Amino acid sequence: MRVKLSNITFTVAVLAILFAIAAPGLMAQQRRENQRAAALFQEGSRAYNQKDYRLAIDKYAMSIALAPRVASSRFWKGLAHMYTGDYELALNELTAALDLGYEKPIDIYSNRWRIHFANKNYEAAMADVNSGLAIDAANHELQIARGDMSFVNKNYRDALDAYQKALVRTPNNAELYLSISKSYFNLRDTKNQVGSAQEAINKGTRFPGDAFLLLADGHQKLGNITQAIAAFESAKAANPKNYEIYRSLADLYRSQNRFDEAIKTSRSALAVFGNDGNIFTDLSWYYSLANRHEEAVEAAKAGIKLLPDQYMAYTNLCRAYNDLEKPELAIRECNNALRLKPDDGETYFYLGRAHDILNKPADATRYYKRAVTGLEAYVKERPDYSDGFYLLGNAYFADNQRSKAIEAYNEAIRLAPSFARARYNLGRLLVVEKEKGLATIQYNALTAIDKGLAATLKAEIDKLP
């Protein structure tokens, strides 16, 4: 053992002497390499600051080749890769920087999560965000990131919590208010949806179209129709290429018996989007409501030409032909609609009406009963849609189920107090039931909504003793 130990001691001593002799040269070389690495790092940083990321990557790579364990070189090279879209290389470098003990790990987490998110690796992205928040829980950028990822994953309550925490540090952040409004929308908190959307607008959001749309939706749900229409108009002005804004605004005008404005809005949509089957189908309905039956026919035909496999334009065409006293044509189009959507209650109602015009009461009754069945199912699926109950009231009325018709009309009016035709038809039914006082209530309400229908109903009421 002593011999072996002596040999080892001798070997170490010899190596020490040799290293001592060579050390000045090795240290000088290492110093030169370190200096060169530092200079290359500075060149890379200048290129990075000038957004010449490709040059920055080259300089950082040369620096790393000389000094591979310098974490900052790895970090900045990773960011440069991120900005050139080389996400895998960016991940590798940022992870290497973290492993090498980069002095600000939160900066790595604050950037690396974005790459994971872009790669749709949401679990890894959230892990980085949470790691960053463990270092700085008040970091608003990471809180926004947590909110965005929670929102993507439909965890709207968590998203809202994160956005509100971020708002503490950036109380004037308009986009945060917009994100908060979207979260409230999905949580069905309409009042706060409206308030947050208005704050986003007040603070100058970069996406006013989205904010006004959220504002309009909220006001409509709250029954603030005047404000809803104004917000929809502002949304349209801010984002004139948003297809759904036109259709929603037109339908809102329709719900307020402002049929000419609904038509104008739909026609302006055609000017923006060109020939569109859904818009022509909407137009055919609005023309019918405005008693412009020939135009309703032409719009429905255009809708059919563009969307031959969609039933609604055929149904609207059937209705328009009934209004023009052309029951044979109406029957043809209703049957076309039913081939595409069997058991549709509205279509069966118009089919029954066509047979009434032809003085075929037995056939009409058969179709009215099928209309009742279809529309009863429809209102169960859409219990908040006033038109469904209005149509069901019409079907009950035609099928001589008067008490049920009264209930259906009243529900339509409860959902849409300005629904003129629902009030008019209810008033007519009450006249048939000889309920003069109740019919007069509907007349009085109509005088502020549709003076023409009010006058027609008054003439019927005056016939009662």
Going from N- to C-terminal start, the domains of the chain cover: 343-402, 417-464
CB contact at 8 A, 232 and 245? yes
Q: How many CB atoms lie within 10 A of CB 439?
A: 23
Helix (H/G/I), strand (E/B), else coil: 465 = coil
Q: What is the topology classification, in CATH, of domain 343-402?
A: Methane Monooxygenase Hydroxylase; Chain G, domain 1 (1.20.58)
CA trace torsion 31, 33, 34, 40 (10° rounding)? 150
| Angle of CA points 32, 34, 38, to nearest 5° | 115
Query: Across residues 291-296, what is the average pLDDT?
Result: 98
Classify burial at 216, counting beta carbons within 10 Å of its beta carbon; exposed 0-12, middle 13-18, buried 19 or more: buried
pLDDT at position 2: 31
pLDDT tens, 87-128? 999 999 999 999 999 999 999 999 999 999 999 898 999 999
pLDDT tens, 182-213? 999 999 999 999 999 999 999 999 999 999 99
The CA distance from 327 to 4, in Å, is 116
Distance of CA 243 to the CA centre of its chain: 12
pLDDT band (50, 70, 90) for residue 77 = very high
Q: How many CB atoms lie within 10 A of CB 198?
A: 20
CB neighbours of 173 closer than 8 A, spacing ≥ 6? Answer: 166, 167, 203
Q: How many CB atoms lie within 10 A of CB 332?
A: 15
The CA distance from 343 to 332, in Å, is 16
Model's pTM, two decimal places?
Answer: 0.77
pLDDT band (50, 70, 90) for residue 25 = low
Q: Which amino acid is at 305?
A: K
Helix (H/G/I), strand (E/B), else coil: 76 = helix
Find where tokens 């007519």 sit. Answer: 428
| Angle of CA points 313, 318, 323, to nearest 5° | 125
As given in the structure block, the two tokens for residue 123 are 């679990």
DSSP-derived letter for residue 193 is H
The answer for 101, left when phi > 0, alpha when psi is -120 to 50, beta otherwise, is left
